[in-house]
């Protein structure tokens, strides 16, 4: 069964802690993406990766980091430097220049 | 910078009413256009897309969209909505020079009442 999995669905952290969100895909897509969704702001691109071992900053990369060591995996770390980390985080993947497919999301709450 | 505008933030309709959601983008070159839908508690999923050819695009669940290049628009339409169409709808654009970067609008929340 092909698709994109994100875990966990809900995540709670204390302020000042780094947290890593998981994203795995078995669609054999080359490109993977991380978005942040906030009410009334749509989806904003954090980071994206077109091939393994390479990634680019999106529009709101500050306070986030990523790695792409395997084609199937693109974890996102929300660092303590991110000023407003509470949000809904969506991972997506695509073939190069194709439409993006989205995972179910992780809702992160930092208190 | 490239941007996407969705002017309708919240739309409330009765079942069987017609729907049109506006989407305008700011980019003068070749674009690919998308409408995504997010049903309550579900994944964001693709409704329809335009890459080239016929500017009237048909998608899933009876939705369609028309690309009007002169107006930089890609409005979403459905002749008769159902309660199950209650969802958030996002327009998205990518340009010919950066085909991996998708720019999203802020979304339109549609509520359909029986």
Distance from CA of A35 to the nearest CA of B (A): 10
pLDDT at A27: 95
Using left for φ > 0, alpha for ψ between -120 and 50, and beta otherwise, residue A34 falls in beta
- Asked if the model's pLDDT at residue A109 lies above 70, the reply is yes
How far apart are alpha carbons B67 and B56 in whole angstroms? 6
Distance from CA of B30 to the nearest CA of A (A): 13
Contact A42 B105 (CB under 8 A): yes
Interface test with A, best of B102, B105, B107 (most A CBs within 10 A): B102
Mean pLDDT on B19-39: 93
Contact B106 A103 (CB under 8 A): no
Contacting residues of A for B42, CB less than 8 Å apart = 104
pLDDT in tens, B43-101: 899 999 999 999 999 999 999 999 999 999 999 999 999 999 999 999 999 987 776 78
SS3 of chain B: helix, strand, coil, percent, to 5: 10, 50, 40
- Asked if the model's pLDDT at residue B29 lies above 90, the reply is no
Residue with tokens 């085909």: B99
Asked if B109 is an interface residue toward chain A (Cβ–Cβ < 8 A), one would say no
CA dihedral B80, B85, B90, B91 (to 10 degrees): -20
pLDDT at A2: 66
- Asked if the model's pLDDT at residue A105 lies above 60, the reply is yes
Q: Are A73 and A24 in contact (CB under 8 A)?
A: yes
Contact A99 B105 (CB under 8 A): no
Find residue B34's DSSP bridge partners.
B49, B92
Give B30's pLDDT tier (boundaries 50, 70, 90): confident
Contact A94 B100 (CB under 8 A): yes
pLDDT in tens, A8-62: 999 999 999 999 999 999 999 999 999 999 988 889 999 999 999 999 999 999 9
Using left for φ > 0, alpha for ψ between -120 and 50, and beta otherwise, residue B41 falls in left
Residue with tokens 């709101």: A60
Contacting residues of A for B103, CB less than 8 Å apart = 45
Q: In chain A, pLDDT over 90 holds for what percent of residues?
A: 84
Mean pLDDT on B32-46: 93
Torsion sign (Cα): A78, A82, A86, A91: negative
pLDDT at B104: 93
Contacting residues of B for A102, CB less than 8 Å apart = 36, 43-45
pLDDT at B100: 74
Asked if A33 is an interface residue toward chain B (Cβ–Cβ < 8 A), one would say yes
Asked if A75 is an interface residue toward chain B (Cβ–Cβ < 8 A), one would say no
pLDDT at B96: 73
Using left for φ > 0, alpha for ψ between -120 and 50, and beta otherwise, residue B61 falls in left
Give the chain A residue whose CA is nearest to the CA of B5: A42
Give the chain A residue whose CA is nearest to the CA of B108: A40
Q: Please report, for chain A, how many H helices and E strands are present, in that order.
A: 0, 11
Q: Are A96 and B46 in contact (CB under 8 A)?
A: no
pLDDT at A99: 87
pLDDT at A1: 56
Using left for φ > 0, alpha for ψ between -120 and 50, and beta otherwise, residue B72 falls in left
- Asked if the model's pLDDT at residue A78 lies above 60, the reply is yes
Mean pLDDT on A77-88: 93
DSSP 8-state secondary structure symbol assigned to residue A71: T
Q: Cβ contacts of residue B52 below 8 Å, gap of 6+?
A: none
How far apart are alpha carbons B78 and A102 in whole angstroms? 24
């Amino acid at each position: 069964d092909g698709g994109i999995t994100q875990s966990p669905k809900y995540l709670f952290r204390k302020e000042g802690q780094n947290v890593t969100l998981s994203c795995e895909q078995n669609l054999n897509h080359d490109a993977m993406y991380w978005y942040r969704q906030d009410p009334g702001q749509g989806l904003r691109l954090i980071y994206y990766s077109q091939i393994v071992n390479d990634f680019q900053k999106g529009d709101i990369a500050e306070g986030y980091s990523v790695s792409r060591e395997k084609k199937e995996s693109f974890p996102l770390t929300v660092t303590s430097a991110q000023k407003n980390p509470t949000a809904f985080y969506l991972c997506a993947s695509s073939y190069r220049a194709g439409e993006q497919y989205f995972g179910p999301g992780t809702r992160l709450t930092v208190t | 910078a490239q941007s996407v505008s969705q002017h309708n933030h919240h739309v409330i309709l009765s079942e069987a009413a017609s729907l049109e959601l506006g989407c305008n983008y700011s980019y003068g070159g070749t674009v690919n256009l998308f409408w995504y839908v997010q049903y309550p508690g579900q994944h964001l999923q693709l409704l329809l897309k335009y890459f080239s050819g016929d500017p009237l695009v048909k998608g899933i669940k009876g939705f369609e969209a028309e690309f009007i290049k002169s107006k930089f628009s890609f409005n979403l339409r459905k002749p008769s909505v159902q309660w199950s169409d209650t969802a958030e709808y996002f327009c998205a654009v990518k340009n010919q020079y950066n085909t991996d970067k998708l720019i999203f609008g802020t979304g339109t929340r549609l509520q359909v009442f029986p």
